[in-house]
Amino acid sequence: MDHERRRSHRLRAYQPVRLRKPGAATLIETLAKDVSSTGLRCLSQVEFPVATELIIELLLSSGYAPFTARGKMIWFQAIPQSEQFDIGIEFVDVSQENQRRLSVYLDRLSRQAIPA
């Protein structure tokens, strides 16, 4: 039997996201597939080792600064017949302001979206 390990409810949210390792200049521009108050799942063409620290910039709304946080990659899964991966990232350091902005976004999204 498969048990849910997530600490928070995820919502489908196909939003642009940028990832980079701390101190690295290279950005990975991709797409988030679902988001929660504690993390997100997104696509990646790069296979990161589990526990890799990442800086996350998630576009919540057009015209506004992105949500930013430090995160840690906690799982990855190859997408069959593709050169991409689904990766799960847990937020580990989020400012109060960004946490508030994410909460408002998730509240708005929960009123119109189907759970992931």
CB 67 within 8 A of CB 55: no
Q: What is the pLDDT of residues 22-41, one digit of tens each?
A: 999 899 999 999 999 999 99
pLDDT band at 109; cut points 50, 70, 90: confident
Distance CA 22, CA 93 (A): 13
What is residue 64's predicted lDDT score, i.e. its pLDDT?
84
CA dihedral 61, 79, 37, 113 (to 10 degrees): 60
Q: How many Cα atoms within 13 Å fall on the side-chain side of residue 59?
A: 11
**pLDDT of 4 strictly over 50:** no
What is residue 63's predicted lDDT score, i.e. its pLDDT?
80
**pLDDT of 112 strictly over 80:** no
Write down the CATH superfamily of domain 11-109: predicted glycosyltransferase like domains (2.40.10.220)
Q: What is the pLDDT of residues 46-81, one digit of tens each?
A: 888 999 999 999 999 878 889 999 999 999 999 999
